Structure 1
Amino acid sequence: MTSEPIPRERIGLIDVARGAHPSQLVIAGVLLCLSCAAFGMAPGIVSLAWLALVTPSLVVIDLRLRRLPNVLVVPGLAAVVVDGCWATASAGEFPFLAFLTTSIVAAVMLVLHLVGGLGMGDVKLSVVMTGCLSLVSPVLAVAGLMLAFLLGGGYAAALLLRARGRRGSRIAFGPLLLSGFWTVVVLVALYWNEAARAAL
């Protein structure tokens, strides 16, 4: 799906751009439209827009290299901070519940990383996703992660049953995290449109 091989060493923006396929731009555009439909111009849209832009590349790179490059994930953490400041300024109070939810998720995912269950890229990506969705609802943020783990468990079980996976082998968890996240965003967008129609 990519036009040029993506290097295994440190991945920069130039490497990502060089290895991108035109279809990834189309997917990113669709996700951006979905982001606007789900959040509108409200706190959370900055990190959501960033995730929309980088999701296609993250999926491709993680499937091929089992890595989530910092150059694509770390700016999302900065976007979450921007959204948090926006939420504080617009509401006049600090979004403590969103901060607490994100902190708990970060701690849990870090523990899973330390025991060998997740890559550090997965930890950082989950923090970005949780920070984004928890500004809408902490329940939605947790639901997205739970869905990702359910998908991961089902996928791992299917690989073992087909004798294609070995115990201890790693699967690309980034695409599963993003699948759970975007499923929740779609549900938010559908609810928003339904609520808007009901208000008319």
Structure 2
Amino acid sequence: MTGGLEYALIAVAALWGAAAGALLPRAAHRFAVPAGEEWRSACPQGHPLAGWLGPARCRACRETPYGTGAGTASGTGAGAADGTGAGPAYGAGAAVPVTVTALVCAALAAATGTRPELAVWLLLAPAGVLLATVDFRVQRLPDPLTLPFAATALALLGLTALVPEHAGEWTTALLGALALGVGYFVLFLINPAGMGFGDVKLALGAGAVLGWYGWPTVLLGTLAGFLCGALYGGALVVARKAGRKTSIPFGPFLISGAFTGLLIGAYTA
């Protein structure tokens, strides 16, 4: 791939990532609830939310300043309407998901090049960022995200295997999903307090994308996830912000490890 084409591909991937990341705040707000609770269906002021994708803004709130009613009780209000007609923001802003998703997609494009599996990685990347965001906030990996993530990964990779010039194998993607899922399930049985069942379901999707590039990539991505989690937990203990038995969300590190393994697998394929 020539230099000009490579830079253009990376730029397009980054733009796609930024656009997709801008659609994540509302979904993150709706999914980020503690285990056992229903997904949010209203803004902090109690107005019904339409749809799952888009900015975290409520049009019905544009005439209602935050600081009264449910907005104060929730603690998530972010000021009055800003004059855009979209109403005041609630929850976290779009800057982080936009930036992170754009960087992730750009890195995937740089590592994968013009091979057809790049389209799969770019479609899955926003879902991975959303999953990491929700788990980091409330230590929960929603079934409506984890299970479709794994199924979509396997389905899209199955189609990609029919396209010329791909660099992976669908069989190892399927076996990787099963192997990682079973491995995490065993860890869940051994230590349910340290490994949630949501992590087991997420491992199916992670194993699929890593398995596409072979077993060394599965091993690398798995070890990278545990290493990232251990370093984060150790840093919290050293900073005295957590104890040795403090529960931390593992989903973001499982995804980070899979992303690391995928980058290296794609680059070396």
| TM-score category of the 2 structures, normalised to the smaller one | 0.7 to 0.9
What's the secondary structure of 1:33's corresponding residue?
helix
Q: Give the percent of matched residue pairs that are identical in Structure 1 and Structure 2.
A: 25
Q: Relative contact order: is structure 1 or structure 2 higher (C-alpha 8 Å, sep ≥ 6)?
A: 1
Cα deviation, residue 20, structure 1: 5.9
Cα deviation, residue 103, structure 1: 1.4
Partner of 1:14: 52
Cα deviation, residue 87, structure 1: 5.0
Output the aligned Cα RMSD. 3.1
Cα deviation, residue 88, structure 1: 5.0
Residues 1:150 and 2:224 aligned together: no
Given the two structures, how large is their TM-score scaled by the length of structure 2? 0.58
Given the two structures, how large is their TM-score scaled by the length of structure 1? 0.75
Distance of 1:98 and 1:44 partners within structure 2: 15
Cα deviation, residue 118, structure 1: 1.1
What's the secondary structure of 1:36's corresponding residue?
helix
Higher helix share: 1
Query: What are the equivalent positions in structure 2 for 1:27-106 lying under 5 Å apart?
Result: 27-39=100-112, 40-43=114-117, 45-46=119-120, 48-90=121-163, 95-106=170-181
Cα deviation, residue 145, structure 1: 1.0
Distance of 1:180 and 1:14 partners within structure 2: 27
Structure 2 vs 1, CA of residues 88 and 188 (structure 1 numbering), >3 Å: closer, same or farther? closer
Once the two structures are superposed, residues 20-47 of structure 1 have per-residue CA deviations (whole angstroms, 9 ceiling, x without a partner) of: 632213432332333333334434742x
For residue 105 of structure 1, what is the amino acid of its counterpart?
Answer: L
Residues 1:120 and 2:197 aligned together: yes
Count of aligned positions: 188
User: In 2, are the aligned partners of 1:80 and 1:131 still within 8 Å (CA)?
Assistant: yes
Query: What are the equivalent positions in structure 2 for 1:106-185 lying under 5 Å apart?
Result: 106-115=181-190, 116=192, 117-185=194-262
Instruction: Give 5+ residue unaligned stretches, structure 1.
Output: 193-200
User: In 1, are the aligned partners of 2:141 and 2:251 still within 8 Å (CA)?
Assistant: yes
User: In 2, are the aligned partners of 1:44 and 1:80 still within 8 Å (CA)?
Assistant: no
User: In 2, are the aligned partners of 1:38 and 1:190 still within 8 Å (CA)?
Assistant: yes
What's the secondary structure of 1:132's corresponding residue?
helix
Distance of 1:26 and 1:167 partners within structure 2: 32
Instruction: Give 5+ residue unaligned stretches, structure 2.
Output: 1-24, 41-50, 57-90
Cα deviation, residue 146, structure 1: 0.6
User: In 2, are the aligned partners of 1:28 and 1:52 still within 8 Å (CA)?
Assistant: yes
Structure 2 vs 1, CA of residues 137 and 45 (structure 1 numbering), >3 Å: closer, same or farther? farther
